[in-house]
Amino acid sequence: VLQNCNNQAVVSTQSTGEPLCKQKVHLKVLEKGRPEDAMPGIAGVKQPLPPHPLNGMVNKTGGKGRLTFKLEEDSLWIGTKARTEKISMSNIKNVVNEKIESDPNYHIMGIQLGPTELSIYWVYWVPAQYVDAVKDTILGKWQTFF
């Protein structure tokens, strides 16, 4: 267990021991700044998922992305301009997140699609108020904490 940029305990997804928001791979995306079409973020507030997709986010290559929850199909759709990946929520191994130090209204979120860290799909500029709802929806309300 490591400390993130805000001194909160988090499980490291990288072996460097460095907080996500300080790691080069994430810093490259964050330095481009918040997308103009990012949904408003509100730190310190927990809200349920909205009835529409979460959009205005970017992936690790800087491509626009959205998360659509298809609860009736128990699936998460990760959409980009190029394609939409439909993932059964039961196949998602973990979800990690960390506040973005330069803008705590938003988080970096990693959705682990396979057995290793290399299978994590990174999403940037996730509005803070939806982070817990995303994790609860994907992992289940009563996920185990290690």
Contact 108, 100 (CB under 8 A): yes
Query: Does residue 21 register a pLDDT over 50?
Result: yes
Position 127 scores a pLDDT of 98
pTM metric for this prediction? 0.83
**What are φ and ψ of residue 14, in 5° steps?**
-130, 150
Position 99 scores a pLDDT of 95
**What are φ and ψ of residue 122, in 5° steps?**
-90, 135
pLDDT digits over 49-78, tens only? Answer: 999 999 999 999 999 999 999 999 999 999
CA distances from 114 to 43, 69, 91, 111 (A): 30, 19, 8, 9
Query: Does residue 146 register a pLDDT over 60?
Result: no
